[in-house]
Amino acid sequence: HEINCLQGVEIETRLEKFFAHDAKKILREIKTPFVIMLDGYEALVNKLGQGDKARAEDNWLHEPKIGLVRKLPNVLWVVAGREKLHWEEDILPNEQTHLMGQISLEDAKLYFHKIGIFDEKMIAGLHKLTSGTPVYMDWCYKQYIQLQREKGYEIKLEDFGSNTTELAKRYLRDMKSEQQDVVYLLSCLPDIWNDEMVNWVAKKTNYQVSINAEYKRIKGLSLIEKIGDEYKIHETFRNVVLNFMEDEDRGDLSEAVWEYYIYYLDCEHTDEEKADMVKRYVQSFRRIGKYTKWNEEKLEKMLHGIYRYAWRIRNLDIVLETRDFVNDIMKDEKNKCCILAQYIVTEFYMRLQEYKKAKEIAENEYAICIKAYGEDNKLALSFLGRLAVIYEFTKDYEKGKEAIEKKYEGYKRMLGAAHKETLEVCQELIHLCNVTGN
């Protein structure tokens, strides 16, 4: 409770103590590996200089006897910022200090020296070629080993390619055919995938043998990022792989991914898990969806899945991307799939309480529906129902009543006055009459 009695300046002077107290309390019962990230810490310490004062101020974290780095062996410490920490070599070896994502030229030299490249010009060229990105540097290493085996002359910078795409192409060409099959399959999956998805798609196609032989090894390569129990393939390499593949192979794999999507939504997963699958699939539309053999039946299944689970994602972009993708495929605003996609957008805007946008879309789509299919079709009547709700929320009760009356008359003509759905619409009409006092 000490912190509650202190002023801001006093808290700052004892910040390390409070942090250490909380860390000890939280981590006392934790047995699994743990990560603590201190962003900007190096600027705080390094401004104190290189002398005894700096070391004394930093002892709480890295001093051998009392420092938290030594006291908490199950913790991975990530100290991030724009400056380099001035810690002793035994605490922080040089190879553990680098820019995240892009390794500095200084640190890249250490890497290339370890694999046997010492020419300064070559190292500078490779660093520029890879942009200091670890996965690209790893590709250079594989290429260097291959060149050493095959060439009897001095290796040159141009042997690695002119850019990262060329580097990835060379890396792919050097893979065995079974390994290529695995990365072909992985490149056709949504951005993030797991073992279940891989094995399901492999069984649906002709990739099962390769998956059994090489999948585990491919997952261990630096071009694959592990995210918990899931994985992600490096984007540049994935694009290169897709360009290498035959259209037929991309089509077969895309069809299998589509089938997995439908299978997953039919299984006993939680709504949150299904919403996550919808999100992943939609986000991959432009990459893998273009190779799927779409028809109205498939699009309707996909849209119903999105309609059911998209709200749990709470992401308008997912819904808008779906609509645009369907419009690009069907290229006809009168097509029922395009209209259904717009209905989902309308529903989403309503949930966001953006009634003006919802009304604009609903009125436009209702006009399109009756022009293309007549007044007595479920899509047109669904938009009338949405309009009735919108008018009610915006207190335009007369228009709301008019819309629901049209919907009721349409259902009577289509299904008869005694049908369950007609009676449900009748209840909606009674509700609006009660609201308006008519």
Q: How many whole angstroms separate alpha carbon 400 and alpha carbon 393?
A: 9
Residue 135 contacts residue 161 (beta carbons within 8 Å)? no
Q: What are the b/e assignments for 380-393, b being 16+ CB within 10 Å?
A: bbbbbbbbbbbbbe
In contact, 107 and 98? CB cutoff 8 Å = yes
Contact (Cβ atoms closer than 8 angstroms) between residue 174 and residue 221: no
Query: Could you tell me which residue, 88 or 334, shows the higher pLDDT?
Result: 334
Higher pLDDT, 94 or 326: 326
Between CA 73 and CA 373 the distance in angstroms is: 69
DSSP assignment letter at 231: E
| pTM summary value | 0.64
pLDDT at 97 over 70: no
- Residue 434 · residue 397 · CB < 8 Å: no
What is the band of 429 on the pLDDT scale with cuts at 50, 70, 90? confident
pLDDT in tens, 309-330: 877 767 788 888 889 989 988 8
Beta-bridge partners for 226: 231
Residue type, 204: K
* pLDDT at res. 253: 93
Question: Cβ contacts of residue 104 below 8 Å, gap of 6+?
Answer: 98, 132
Query: Above pLDDT 90, what percent of the chain?
Result: 12
Q: Is residue 113's pLDDT more than 70?
A: yes
Residues 399-412 have a mean pLDDT of 83
* Res. 308: pLDDT tops 80: yes
**Confidence class of residue 82 from pLDDT cuts 50, 70 and 90?**
very low
Instruction: Please state the rounded mean pLDDT for residues 151-168.
Output: 79
Q: Radius of gyration (Cα) for the chain, nearest Å? A: 30
75-80/34-39 β-pairing: parallel
| pLDDT tens, position by position, 354-397 | 888 888 988 888 888 888 888 888 888 888 888 888 888 888 88
Most confident of 21-30, 134-143, 242-251: 242-251
Given this model, what pLDDT does residue 204 score?
92
The per-residue pLDDT for range 5-24, each reduced to its tens digit, is: 777 677 777 777 777 777 77
For residue 1, pLDDT beyond 80: no
The mean per-residue pLDDT over the stretch 126-142 comes to 81
Q: Is the dihedral of CA 151, 157, 161, 167 positive or negative?
A: positive
Question: By three-state DSSP, how is residue 422 classified?
Answer: helix
- Give the span between the Cα atoms of 173 and 59, in whole angstroms: 51
What's the whole-number average pLDDT of the chain? Answer: 81
The letter for the amino acid at 357 is K
pLDDT digits (tens, 9 = 90+) for 162-180: 888 888 888 888 888 999 9
What average pLDDT does the segment 107-133 reach? 85
DSSP 8-class letter at 361? H
CB contact at 8 A, 142 and 174: yes
**Nearest of 416, 343, 333, 426 to residue 379 by alpha carbon:** 343
The pLDDT assigned to 51 comes to: 52
Answer whether residue 85 shows pLDDT above 70: no
Q: Is 50 exceeded by the pLDDT of residue 64?
A: yes
pLDDT given for residue 195 in this prediction: 94
Does 99 score more than 50 pLDDT? no
Nearest in space to 231 (alpha carbons), one of 196, 193, 178, 282: 193
For residues 61 and 53, give the distance between their C-alpha atoms in angstroms, rounded to a whole number: 14
Tokens of 11: 């808290």
Read off the tokens for 409.
């008359």
Which residues lie across from 34 on neighbouring strands? 75
Q: What is the pLDDT of residues 267-291, one digit of tens each?
A: 888 888 888 888 888 888 888 888 8
> Does position 188 have pLDDT exceeding 90, yes or no?
yes
pLDDT at 418: 80
Quote the Cα angle for 206-208-210, to 5°. Answer: 100
Residue 47: predicted pLDDT: 58
